[in-house]
Amino acid sequence: MVLDKLGSNLRNVLNKITNSMFVDEKLINEIVKEIQRALLQSDVNVHLVLKLTKIIKDRALKEQMSGLNKKETLIKIVYEELVKFLGEEKKEIVFDSKPTKIMLVGLFGSGKTTTAGKLAKYYSKRGKKIALVGLDVWRPAAMDQLKQNAENVKVDYYIDKDEKDPVKIWSRFKEQESKYDLIIIDTAGRDALSDELIEEIEQVTEAVSPQEKLLVISADIGQTANVQAKQFHDSCGITGVIITKMEGTAKGGGALTACAVTGSPIKFIGVGEKMDDLETFNPQGFVSRLLGMGDIGALLEKAQEAIDEEDAMDLSKKLLKGEFNLIDLYSQMKTMNKMGSFSKIMEMIPGMSKLKIPKELLEGQQDKMESWRFIMDSCTKDELENPDIFNSSRVERVANGSGRDIQEVRDLLKHYKKSKKMIKQFGGSEKKMQQMMKKLGGMPGI
Ligand code: GDP
Ligand code: MG
């Protein structure tokens, strides 16, 4: 797979989050360090790494996404910021003119001629009528290579091995233009972006007027891709980037991020020498795969279920032992919010599996839960673990911090005390449990 090492390092980071007890500053610092190490190993520029991880840290310290617990929120923040880092959205080639012309530019050996063939195959599979046009007059073998690729993927081609002026080759081909949906133009490279190459690209651009001018760049140059992409962007006005040889280098992370920051979207990545070895580049899908998620939605759902079950198990054990603090109240509220999970708690308490919970108990709790969640997010770990330490100045601080009324904080604490008392009385009998629920009627505690 592309970027194996980066992927496995990032997956370790996610596992660490999932297996941690608390999401606290210590964990966030560790996570941030490991992400930094993973990205640096993949040759991502150190300034970019620091910028990214600062954003992750800042968000992780203050955000709580609704419907997700702290661990999931942290995972989602990491995912979202990596996606943004790589350009956020998929930017496909738009076919709103006939023909659409894609011109490939780049240095020697970056993979232009190979990519021309790959693109032809990719789009001819999607029903486009295609021609490859060879304008690389610098390398005698380039025209033959293009012809070979065209024959291989069964599309038309136009080359002229005797002509030394690319603009003339184009003008001879031009009258056939309208026969095609897509024309892919291969151009000459140089060892570096010289004035001569810039001028040649300008002349060809003027003659061809392509809708897309894509820079082909090899991933093995790592973060130095930034300089190349910027130079081509500034002097030739590229509309996007294709990064080749992604499969063969550990430095691909550097190349990808270096290009993403130039503002030129990455359209495709090349992952091998064969004509099929081309993938569209979609930051969301790419990061999901890198993180081993397949699809973030499915994973988060799965994570949610797994964590719910663990929480339910822990909670039921605590309830039976009579231990109970604000954190438990919080997770109880959360699981309570979902009938399914609540029945799971019940199933785990001996004798409780047959208990029917009145639906009304669950209704109208959403608002209260939201408010209490804000309050709890403003509590310290000590306060959550040992709510008895609350005095009026703590209450005031938490109210201010969470933007809620002092009365709401007091209500929460009152509810906590009541729940705790009830739980102490609860000896595991079904009848007592039902009585207790009646007494607490309408509250998201048991
Ligand atoms: P050009 O000079 O820019 O036209 O580059 P070429 O298309 O001739 O490619 C240069 C070399 O890179 C050739 O040996 C290609 O087979 C190889 N190449 C191109 N794309 C890829 C890729 O995605 N992966 C690998 N491994 N090799 C590639
Ligand atoms: Mg070539």
Structural domains of the chain, with CATH? 4-85 (1.20.120.140), 100-293 (3.40.50.300), 308-439 (1.10.260.30)
| Minimum CA distance residue for ligand 1 atom 12 | 111
> pLDDT value at position 305?
56
* Residue 359 contacts residue 441 (beta carbons within 8 Å): no
> pLDDT value at position 380?
87
Chain center to CA of 60? 15
Ligand nearest to the CA of 134: 2
| Minimum CA distance residue for ligand 1 atom 19 | 111
Interval between CA 392 and ligand 1 midpoint (Å): 70
Beta carbons within 10 angstroms of residue 84's beta carbon: 15
Average pLDDT, the chain: 82
Q: Output the CA angle 329-331-335, nearest 5 degrees.
A: 115
Name residues whose C-beta falls within 8 Å of residue 166's C-beta, 6 or more positions apart in sequence: 135, 136, 137, 187, 188, 200, 203, 204
Indicate the pLDDT class of residue 346, thresholds 50, 70 and 90: very low
Best residue among 118, 244, 249 to mutate for probing ligand 1, ranked by most atoms within 8 Å of CB: 244
* Residue 264 contacts residue 239 (beta carbons within 8 Å): yes
> pLDDT value at position 162?
93
> pLDDT value at position 158?
98
**The one-letter amino acid at 168:** K
Interval between CA 257 and ligand 2 midpoint (Å): 25
Best residue among 105, 114, 133 to mutate for probing ligand 1, ranked by most atoms within 8 Å of CB: 114
Question: How confident is the model over 48-57, as pLDDT tens digits?
Answer: 999 999 999 9
Residue written as token pair 């790959």: 118
Interval between CA 113 and ligand 1 midpoint (Å): 7
pLDDT at 161 over 90: yes
Report the interhelical angle of 406-425 vs 366-377 (nearest 10°): 100
Measured CA to CA, the distance from residue 72 to residue 180 in angstroms comes to 49
Ligand nearest to the CA of 149: 1
Ligand nearest to the CA of 143: 2
Residues in contact with ligand 1 by the CB-under-6-Å rule are 106, 108-114, 189, 216, 244-245, 247-248, 270-273, 277
> pLDDT value at position 142?
93
Measured CA to CA, the distance from residue 354 to residue 122 in angstroms comes to 58
Segment 1-21 shows an average pLDDT of 87
Indicate the pLDDT class of residue 327, thresholds 50, 70 and 90: confident
Interval between CA 140 and ligand 2 midpoint (Å): 10
pLDDT at 444 over 50: no
Q: Give one DSSP letter per residue of 397-412, joined into a string.
A: HHHHHHT--HHHHHHH
